[in-house]
Structure 1
């Protein structure tokens, strides 16, 4: 991936995992070995890095707000965020980040 990341167990987290550059947060110690979840969050770290972090969060929020207006449903809005679409589509592929092209999330619009 080009850089190291640290995984932090955060029991207060309301979701299983979250990428908060340069960290991956998980809400339970047992998730430290969940390869798909960790890969999903690593994909988000790559997205964040290529957008220089802050623009990633801005675009993520804008995309979510557009989706919530469109779908009127949190789960659908979340799952249709372009960054989530890429991460969910590729999280089961452990080699994805080695061959991933920059801005690959863009094709999920």
Structure 2
């Protein structure tokens, strides 16, 4: 994990860019749900061989932006984000998660 507030836009607490998790503040290292959320993204990235993950993420973001006409709603409705937000509170989620589980959140 990398802590550096200058690598992120002001609206981001953190981001996963395989193989790193970049955090805005050191305190986020202790936020179990946030870290689990970012680990879910790392798993998604590995499953899609990294680069296709980012392409899919951007394409789905623009599709959702067209659909909702709102940047925040578009972001929250990306399948990768929906999976991460709904499962971040489950400590053992990654150990039981099925391959390409994000597809159920499309």
Task: Please say whether Structure 1 and Structure 2 have the same fold, judged by a TM-score greater than 0.5.
Answer: yes
Aligned partner of 2:3 in structure 1 is 9
- C-alpha displacement of 1:21: 0.0
TM-score (norm 1): 0.93
Aligned partner of 1:26 in structure 2 is 23
Is 1:85 aligned with 2:72?
no
Segments of 5+ residues of structure 2 without an aligned counterpart are none
Segments of 5+ residues of structure 1 without an aligned counterpart are 1-6
Aligned partner of 2:52 in structure 1 is 55
SS at match of 2:5: coil
The separation in 2 between residues aligned to 1:67 and 1:102, in whole angstroms, is 24
The separation in 2 between residues aligned to 1:55 and 1:83, in whole angstroms, is 13
SS at match of 2:2: strand
Considering fraction of residues, name the structure with more helix: 2
TM-score (norm 2): 0.95
